[in-house]
Structure 1
């Protein structure tokens, strides 16, 4: 397995998490609680699988540099990457708290943490795909 193929798998897992999160959001808005719960479990499983693959990729292959010269595109990429990484770290305890509160049937407390966690998780999933696209598809074509 190459770094590129593992990165494509990771991007697919992020995209899948995004779709599952949107479905779970629709289910809870329609008060389809069981469908929401199962979809959130699937999103959690998909994101956890991504994390395992990402750490494996990092350990086996190391980091990948964009190779883009300084300028507005590189600045945008670095700011996007920074927000992605910081929010990925922030969301983890939020997701755990939301999961524990749902498990304990503390619905008001669950909703209080799950709402912001959802939007952060959604952002992190989407930006994960964008970062992949920029790093593996946009930037190689920009090299001289």
Structure 2
């Protein structure tokens, strides 16, 4: 794809802004629904799938950084598209899980409880911030606006990596408390 016109970019930025608000709102609404939908016991495995997705995303992000430092742009693009796709898959699995299952309570006590909630709260808070950054960074790369892409990734990349890694940590910490 080539660089786009101003009107098309404005439409794209509006779409990104709408997604950046709509996705967290939908997730918040789903988390607040007390009556869960029963679509089968298979949804109980989704937290483990989500943990794997966050792990794969973290690896892809680190590999993508390595590739761009090595000037392997084509492979970097593919790897980062994979990380972006993992983000979309994560969202689908996360929504499905919380639509069908009650939230799991963390059972740890003492320092580990405070550590878990620090990880969880920072993970959630930064996931809200990183969404529009990642969408913009991806858009700028897709439209070959590489200078704008570079500037955006200075912020998006470390936050995205933190969110992915803390997602894995939170999963590993709460894993013993999932109902089977």
Q: Tell whether the structures are fold-level matches, with TM greater than 0.5.
A: yes
Q: What corresponds to 2:73 in structure 1?
A: 33
Q: Once the 2 structures are TM-superposed, how far is the Cα of residue 85 of structure 1 from its aligned partner? A: 0.3
**3-state SS of 1:114 partner:** helix
Residue by residue over 1:45-82, the C-alpha shift from the partner in whole angstroms, topping out at 9 and shown as x without a partner, is 1111011101110110021111234x211111111100
Normalised by the length of structure 2, the TM-score is: 0.73
Residues 1:47 and 2:84 are matched in the alignment:
no
Residues 1:76 and 2:111 are matched in the alignment:
no
For 1:2 and 1:49, the matched residues in 2 are separated by 14
Gaps of 5+ in 2: 1-41
Normalised by the length of structure 1, the TM-score is: 0.90
Instruction: Indicate which of 110, 115, 122 corresponds to 2:154.
Output: 115
For 1:88 and 1:72, the matched residues in 2 are separated by 24
Q: Once the 2 structures are TM-superposed, how far is the Cα of residue 100 of structure 1 from its aligned partner? A: 1.2
Instruction: Indicate which of 123, 130, 139 corresponds to 2:169.
Output: 130
**3-state SS of 1:62 partner:** coil
Pairs aligned (count):
137
**3-state SS of 1:98 partner:** helix
Gaps of 5+ in 1: none
What stretches of structure 1 move > 2 A for 4+ residues in a row?
Answer: none
Q: What corresponds to 2:128 in structure 1?
A: 89
Provide the alpha-carbon RMSD of the alignment: 1.3
Q: Once the 2 structures are TM-superposed, how far is the Cα of residue 108 of structure 1 from its aligned partner? A: 1.2
Q: Once the 2 structures are TM-superposed, how far is the Cα of residue 2 of structure 1 from its aligned partner? A: 4.6
Q: Once the 2 structures are TM-superposed, how far is the Cα of residue 23 of structure 1 from its aligned partner? A: 1.0
Residue by residue over 1:111-138, the C-alpha shift from the partner in whole angstroms, topping out at 9 and shown as x without a partner, is 011122111111111111110110013x
Q: What corresponds to 1:62 in structure 2?
A: 102
Q: What corresponds to 2:49 in structure 1?
A: 9
